[in-house]
Structure 1
C-alpha cells in the first residue's frame, strides 16, 4: 500500500481526492468492462469507488496468498463478505477449493449471489441474521451467542476483514471460538483489528497524524464515537492475544496498519494472523 493509495482510499476524502477517484473510477471501468460493479450507493466498506473496490480486492488476494497460504484447493470461510470486495478476485481461481461468505446485510448477500455466484458456482453466499449496532441494528440474533453456518474442522482459511473493528468483547470472543471450531487443524485465521500495541516501539517511525484517536474509554476497549460503540472499536494488543489464546488460536503475527500514522505498514487496519494447532 503506498501513500498515493492511502490518499485516495481515505474514509474522509478531500475534495481533490474525490475528484481523483472519479477519474480513477472511469479508468478502471474502461480497463475492466466485464467486471461486475456494485452500485456506488450500496458501497459501505470504505469510499464509494470502483477503483478502491478493485484495488482492495487485489490487495487482499495477495494477503491471502502470502499470509494464509491460499491455493486453488483452499476452503475459505469469509465472515463479513459485504459486497464481494475480497471475493471477486477468487472467481475462476478456485479449482477443488470452495468459498462461503456470510454477512448481516441481506441486500449485499443478494447482490453477491446475482453478480458473483452466477460467474463461479464455487462462490457461495449466505445471510446471517445477527445484530450489530453499526451495520445491522435490527438484526435478530446476538453476536455473542450465534453459531456460524459451518461444519467443524472444515476450512483451511477463515477471514474476517473489518469485522472485529465493529464488535464488542463478548461478541469477538464468540466469533473467535467459532473460527477455531470451523478451522481445520493447521488452518489460518486472517482478521483485522484496531489495536494499541503492548510496545509502541513495534510500530516503528510515525510519519502522519492518526486517523482515529479513540477518545472514549469503555470496559476493556475504546471507541471513536460516543453514540455508537460498534462504529469503530479499539482493543489492547494484550487483550486480543488473550482472546485468541482462550479460543484455541495461536497468534502467529501482527502486521500493524497505517491508520495510526506509522510509516511502515501492510494495510490500513492491523492484520492479525492466527493458526489452529
Structure 2
C-alpha cells in the first residue's frame, strides 16, 4: 500500500456501513470491477502536474500503486523512500557504485525505481524490477532504465538463483495472505546472493494502532497475522497486518536472518521495515 492515508485502501473506498454489500461483491467476484471503477474515478480528479526530471507515469497507473493520483506525493515520497532504502543498504555493506545487482520486487510503475535505477546502472550494476501487473511492467520497461519482468501471484520469479546484492520491496507483503507471503520470503532468499540483504516493509502493530482500520490493532493481540478485506490478493484492496515478532519468525523459516526491524511510525504513515540477510 502506497497511500498517504493508509486506511483509505482498506475501509475508505467502501464504507463500513456497506460491509454486507461488500462481502456479497467479494463472493460473486464483482468487487474487482467495482474497485477498478473507484480507482478510475480517483485518477480523473484534477491535480497539479509535477516535473521532477524523470518520466511520470499516467495518473491511472499512479492510483493503481498508490491509492492517490497526487503526482507530488508520488514523486517526493518515492524519492524519500529510495533514499531511505539505499542509506540502510549502504549501512549493511551495499555499494551501488561498485557493480551491484538490485531487484525492486513489486516495482509498480517505478515510484522508487525511478530514483535508484540510474545510480545502480551508472555504477556498472544491474537493476531489475518485477511486478504482478503487466501494464505497470510495460510502462517501466518503456520509460525507465533497467530490466523489468512480470511475475505471478506466487513464486517463482523468472530469475536465477543467487543473483542479487539487494532485494527491496515497499508495501508488497502488505497485500498478501500469510501462506503466499511465506513463499515470497523464501523466493527473496533464493534470488539473493549468500550474505546479501533484503529490505522489506510490512504493517506492524505500531502502524496498525495509528494508521490502520480500528478493528485491526486489537485483533493483532490474539492473531499474529491478520488479513483485512480478503479478496483481490496482490492489490491495494487486501491488506495484511502482522506483529514484528511474528514477522521475524516467518523470515527465519525462509533462510533469512533478521538483522533489524525499524518499527512503523506514529507521526506519519511509515510502514515497519525489516532488514534481512540471506544465510
Same fold? TM cut 0.5: yes
1:10 is matched with 5
Match of 2:243 among 208, 230, 236: 236
Once the two structures are superposed, residues 148-196 of structure 1 have per-residue CA deviations (whole angstroms, 9 ceiling, x without a partner) of 2222221000112111101111111111111111111221110011122
Distance 1:167 1:214 in 2: 19
What is the SS of the residue equivalent to 1:177? helix
Give the match for residue 137 of structure 1. Answer: none
**1:151-190 → structure 2 map (5 Å cutoff):** 151-190=160-199
Match of 1:252 in 2: 259
- Structure-2 separation of matches of 1:152 and 1:237: 28
Find out whether 1:63 has 2:84 as its counterpart: yes
**TM-aligned CA distance change 1:40 to 1:241, over 3 Å:** same
1:227–1:153 Cα change, 3 Å: closer
In the alignment, does 2:126 pair up with 1:101? no
Judge conservation of contact 1:225–1:232 (CA < 8 Å) in 2: yes
Partner residue of 2:61 out of 42, 45, 48: 42
Structure 2 Cα separation of the partners of residues 228 and 219 of structure 1: 22
Q: How many residues align?
A: 229
Aligned to 1:127: 150
Instruction: Mark the runs of 5 or more structure 1 residues left unpaired by the alignment.
Output: 1-5, 132-142, 198-202
For 1:90, which of 113, 116, 138 is the aligned residue?
116
* TM-score normalised by L of structure 2: 0.72
Partners in 2 of 1:150 and 1:58 — Cα distance? 27
Query: Contact conserved, 1:213 with 1:224, CA < 8 A, in 2?
Result: no
Instruction: Give unpaired runs (5+ residues) of structure 2.
Output: 13-41
Deviation, 1:209, is: 4.5
RMSD of aligned C-alpha atoms?
3.1
- Compare 169-178 and 64-73 and name the one that shifted more: 64-73
1:7-32 CA distances to partner (integer Å, 9 max, x unpaired)? x9335499xxx9xx977x44x32xx3
Aligned partner of 2:211 in structure 1 is: 210
| Map of 2:204 onto structure 1 | 195
1:222 maps onto 2:229 in alignment: no
2:278 is the counterpart of 1:272? no
Please give the alpha-carbon distance, in whole angstroms, between the structure 1 residues aligned to 2:109 and 2:239: 20
Cα separation, 2, equivalents of 1:164 and 1:193: 6
Kept in 1, the 8 Å contact 2:205–2:243? The answer is: yes
Question: Per residue, is there more helix in 1 or in 2?
Answer: 2
Alignment partners' CA distance in 2, 1:107 and 1:99: 19
Distance 1:181 1:190 in 2: 15
Render the CA deviation track for 1:52-73: whole Å, top value 9, x for unaligned: 1211221122122221124232
Displacement of 1:228 in angstroms is 6.0
